[in-house]
Amino acid sequence: MFRKKADYCLNCVTKPCVKVCPLRNDIPLFIKYSNEGDFLKAFNVLSETTILPAICGRICPFSRLCEGNCVRKLKGEPVQIGYIEAVIGDKAIKKNYPLFRKMNDFNGKSVAVVGAGPTGLSCASFLRKLGYSVTIYEKHNYVGGLISHGIPDFRLDKEICEKSFEKIINLGINIKYNAFLGKNIFLKDLRKKYDAVFLSLGANVSKIPSIKGKNLKNVYGANAFLESKVKLDLKGKNVIIIGGSDTAMDMARVAKRCGGNVLVIYRGSSKDMKALKSEVSLAKKEEISFMFRTNIKQIISNGNNYNAYLYNDSGYNFIYPCDYVFFAIGSKVDEKVNKMLGLKLDMNGYIKVDKKNMTSINGVFAGGDVINEKHTVAHALASGRKAAYNIDEYLKQFDNKSI
């Protein structure tokens, strides 16, 4: 079955799948090697550009990227690129393939990476490959960022995640957990201790509209709630999810598994939803209800009883009794943390960087969500890899001089 899927690739000259891949994975080449049964070579091809094939192979929005641009799609079904990538990643875990074929010797320089999400892990991995001593500072007691706390277990096997992260840590990367920037670690101290600093703080503060009732007890931001890993007993409760993203679908399915009667409300049509069609389909199969072209005006409480005031495109207003409301309409940076850093920010509170990922302070770099990159794991990994090579270019100007 696998060979049949791999052999379906035409290995076309123009490689439209590669052009739209945020990581620029050489898709035809790793499929060619896997079709020949040489999974080590296939994994080596992937490792030139990505560090998490077993994860990306499962959660990347392929229908919008590589598979959506596959030549095969013109006359039928696209090549199942994600499936093939995941199989290669799984083989690498099972056979314990090294993440990188070659790694440079230590060059005597060190870099601090703040944040162990996909951007930080990618930057740290490629810096280590280039010969740097790398220490990651992570505020949680685990690595992975949104991969670990933002994607539910039923959508992504956590054992696969842990084994993928092990490959990264085994490169010789140091990790310091429970390290909060601005609380027990400070940028000025990191700058003194390391030759360069990379900030990959993420942007997981939930956006909640300024409506009446937004601060009520049972009103949450989906991003922050998923990160908190709090378990709620929603049995028999009416739960409203506001939004049409993948996060909205994750939150809806989590609430359903907690026993809730779940309704997803989205301001646009079903075609406008940002969530993958496959995720929406799964949500519907789980008997999650949808209401389109509808939005929320306010939330009113009467003791423990909540009412959501809703309105639709036709101007019709109505009340929906609910017990919990979760907003999944996007996330933003922690502006307090960013302001505390003393770096230049853009008008939306994101850290400003130049084309080389450099912030307004020499030797301090930033990437990923904190500079407003696109919010996918693939884009995050690409951002971290790019920053690693930019940091390398910057530090090669010095002979063991600190920043």
* 32-63 tens-digit pLDDT: 999 999 999 999 999 999 999 999 999 999 88
* 172-193 tens-digit pLDDT: 999 999 999 988 999 999 999 9
* 155-169 tens-digit pLDDT: 999 999 999 999 999
Q: How far apart are CA 50 and CA 40, in angstroms?
A: 15
User: What are 41's two structure tokens?
Assistant: 């070579």
* 290-305 tens-digit pLDDT: 999 999 999 998 887 8
The predicted model gives 110-136 an average pLDDT of 97
Question: Whole-model pTM?
Answer: 0.92
The H or E element that residue 127 is part of is: helix 118-129
* 77-92 tens-digit pLDDT: 999 999 999 999 999 9
Looking at residue 333, its pLDDT comes to 85
- pLDDT > 70? residue 3: no
User: Which CB contacts under 8 angstroms, 24+ apart, belong to 41-50?
Assistant: 42/88, 43/88, 43/89, 43/91, 43/92, 43/97, 44/97, 44/101, 46/85, 46/88, 46/89, 47/99, 47/100, 47/101, 49/23, 49/24, 49/25, 49/385, 50/23, 50/25, 50/122, 50/378, 50/381
User: What are 99's two structure tokens?
Assistant: 């993440």
Cα-Cα-Cα-Cα torsion 88, 201, 264, 154, nearest 10 degrees, comes to 30
Please give the domain boundaries of the chain with CATH numbers for all domains.
2-95 (1.10.1060.10), 110-203+333-395 (3.50.50.60), 208-330 (3.50.50.60)
How far is the CA of 39 from the CAs of 95, 127, 151, in angstroms? 10, 25, 27
Strands (DSSP E) along 196-340, which ranges? 196-199, 205-206, 219-221, 238-242, 261-265, 289-291, 294-302, 305-312, 317-322, 324-327, 331-332
